[in-house]
């Protein structure tokens, strides 16, 4: 499913912008700080979650603007989706699909979105939370209902943590109800992750050796069986810690360089980027096969540190996905091997055809 038109209103550096795009490659070039990544962030909001920067909603509204913002898109087939906030409720996200109000999780029924940004180059060197977010984005593209379970689990966990912090002691009946909800949605989250990792691992295992390293995937950390019981017996421990210490929010994604039989965190920066690219490319193929549509790929500065041979290989693989790919870069020369596509120039919050 391609985005044929994107309309930004009071979003980040844009007071108003309309971008028309064709299927295939969409290349945005411009100087650093021109607003290229802001366009990708807007597109990332056409899926559940907080977008590729993980920012709060109020941060996305244009500075010195009236407050609130809007991101609207027309998809192939004249489907219209959009999201945004108002000045009166800057942290309350609103979603509309074909002019009707909808939930954020329902966006994944229409569009699968996956991205890579320069900040993700540190994915294997930092904590597990970033890898979980990356994993859940992969899962969401394969199973749209994953977002619903993740949202309900997080809400129940926040309520439980708050209840455990009550100075007069928590109501055990209410705690049990929250823990039952966490167990129900937590089990769904864990099973969906296991399915996704297994399917993606099979896909990666048969990927050809080449410029993008083959990755081995595994889940580590929490692998409980009866989460409700585990939560019940750990109330005292969790109350003392001020947080819940068991559950799928404690799972980590372990990545291995199969060719070198080495954990990703021990690989070079270039090898880590190659592993990420290999995962994303294999995942795009898997989504196209499973969902009947390739994901929308958002690749920020993806070609900047690749040599010409790897850039050519990347563009060839991306073209083979059959999906729409939005890429940014500072120099048009980085995308000489792309061929036909939509070329755009970004300058000071304005987008023009290049």
Residues 6+ apart with CB under 8 A from 60: 11, 12, 41, 45, 51, 69, 85
Helix or strand (DSSP H, E) at 317: helix 308-321
Question: Do residues 299 and 325 lie in contact, with contact meaning Cβ atoms separated by under 8 Å?
Answer: yes
Predicted local confidence at residue 254, as pLDDT: 96
Predicted local confidence at residue 126, as pLDDT: 87
DSSP string, 322-347: -S-EEEEES-GGGGTTS-SSEEEEEE
Q: Is residue 115 helix, strand or coil? A: strand
Predicted local confidence at residue 42, as pLDDT: 97
Tokens describing residue 337:
């091997």
Closest CA to 107 of 38, 62, 39, 47: 47
203, burial (CB in 10 Å: exposed 0-12, middle 13-18, buried 19+):
middle
Tokens describing residue 143:
């199973």
* C-alpha of 145 from chain center: 15
Predicted local confidence at residue 235, as pLDDT: 94
Predicted local confidence at residue 279, as pLDDT: 92
pTM for this model (two decimals):
0.86
The CATH code that applies to domain 128-292 is: 1.20.1050.90
Question: Do residues 193 and 254 lie in contact, with contact meaning Cβ atoms separated by under 8 Å?
Answer: no
Predicted local confidence at residue 181, as pLDDT: 97
Which pLDDT tens digits describe the chain residue by residue (354 residues)? 799 999 999 999 999 999 999 999 999 999 999 999 999 999 999 999 889 998 999 999 999 899 999 999 999 888 999 999 999 999 999 999 999 999 988 898 888 899 999 888 889 988 899 999 999 999 988 888 898 999 999 999 999 999 999 988 778 999 999 999 999 999 999 999 999 999 999 999 887 766 778 899 999 999 878 999 999 999 999 999 999 999 999 999 999 998 899 999 999 888 888 889 889 989 988 988 888 888 899 999 988 878 888 888 889 889 888 889 999 999 998 998 887 889 999 998 899 987
Predicted local confidence at residue 273, as pLDDT: 85
Question: What's the rounded Cα separation, in Å, for the pair 177 and 172?
Answer: 9
């Amino acid at each position: 499913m391609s985005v044929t038109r994107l309309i930004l209103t009071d979003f980040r550096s844009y007071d108003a912008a309309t971008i028309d795009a064709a299927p295939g490659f969409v290349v945005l070039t411009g100087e650093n700080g021109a607003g290229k990544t802001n366009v990708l962030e807007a597109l990332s909001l056409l899926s559940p979650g907080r977008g590729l920067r993980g920012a709060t909603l109020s941060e996305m509204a244009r500075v010195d603007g009236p407050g609130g913002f809007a991101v609207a898109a027309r998809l192939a087939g004249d489907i219209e989706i959009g999201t945004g906030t108002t000045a009166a409720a800057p942290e309350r996200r609103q979603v509309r699909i074909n002019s009707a109000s909808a939930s954020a999780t329902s966006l994944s029924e229409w569009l699968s979105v996956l991205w890579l940004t320069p900040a993700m180059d540190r994915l294997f060197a930092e904590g597990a939370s970033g890898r979980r977010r990356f994993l859940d984005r992969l899962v969401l593209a394969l199973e749209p209902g994953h977002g619903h379970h993740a949202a309900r689990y997080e809400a129940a966990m926040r309520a439980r943590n708050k209840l455990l912090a009550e100075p007069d002691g928590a109501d055990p009946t209410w705690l049990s109800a929250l823990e039952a909800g966490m167990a129900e949605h937590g089990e769904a989250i864990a099973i969906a992750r296991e399915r996704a990792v297994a399917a993606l691992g099979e896909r990666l295992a048969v990927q050809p050796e080449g410029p993008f390293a083959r990755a081995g995937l595994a889940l580590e950390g929490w692998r409980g069986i009866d989460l409700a019981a585990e939560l019940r017996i750990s109330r005292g421990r969790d109350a003392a810690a001020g947080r819940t210490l068991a559950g799928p929010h404690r799972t980590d994604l372990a990545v291995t360089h199969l060719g070198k039989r080495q954990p990703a965190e021990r690989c070079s920066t270039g090898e880590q980027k190659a592993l990420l690219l290999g995962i994303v490319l294999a995942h795009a193929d898997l989504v196209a096969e499973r969902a009947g549509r390739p994901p929308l790929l958002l690749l920020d500065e993806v070609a900047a540190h690749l040599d010409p041979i790897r850039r050519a290989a990347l563009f060839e693989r991306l073209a083979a996905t059959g999906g729409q790919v939005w890429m940014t870069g500072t120099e048009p020369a980085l995308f000489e091997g792309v061929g036909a596509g939509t070329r755009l120039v970004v300058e000071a919050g304005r987008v023009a055809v290049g």
